[in-house]
Amino acid sequence: MFYIYGLRLKDDTEYRYIGCTLDPDTRMLAHTSYDKRNRDKHNWIKANAANVEMVILAQREDPDEASKEEARQIANHRRTGHRLFNRQSHSPTRHAMSDETKAKLSQPKKRRLTPEQRQAALREWFKED
């Protein structure tokens, strides 16, 4: 599932960034890392770290539909006066995915091993023949 989301301050209606992700929690954490391509967004997040929230605006199963919805959300929010940090206007065709990428994204996410499973796998790996 693809999530189209917006970043804003809690108790504010103005979105400052709109994006798309498969994993909202990990993506929100990534937004706190330094972004050399978008320093203004990074500085805004850093200055308001405790008050920035991610709001899911839409969900899409298909990657192409998700990209189109992201572009629609950006255009609609810009049209209504939101001061977005998004650098470009997101053309859905510019981000067209290859069939191979679509196939990889449609596969279920691999689960991480529990510590016990990891230890068992390591024991098996290093077991002498």
Whether the Cβ atoms of residue 6 and residue 74 lie closer than 8 Å to each other: no
Instruction: Kindly report, residue by residue over 10-41, the tens digit of the pLDDT.
Output: 999 999 999 999 988 888 888 877 677 788 88
What total number of domains does the chain contain?
A: 1
Residue 8: partners with Cβ closer than 8 Å, 6 or more residues away: 14, 15, 16, 52, 53, 55
Query: H/E element holding 7?
Result: strand 2-9
CA distance 98 to 75: 25
For residue 32, give its domain range.
2-126
pLDDT digits (tens, 9 = 90+) for 41-53: 888 988 888 889 9
Asked if residue 106 lies in contact with residue 61, where contact means CB atoms within 8 angstroms, the answer is: no
**Does pTM top 0.85 for this prediction?**
no
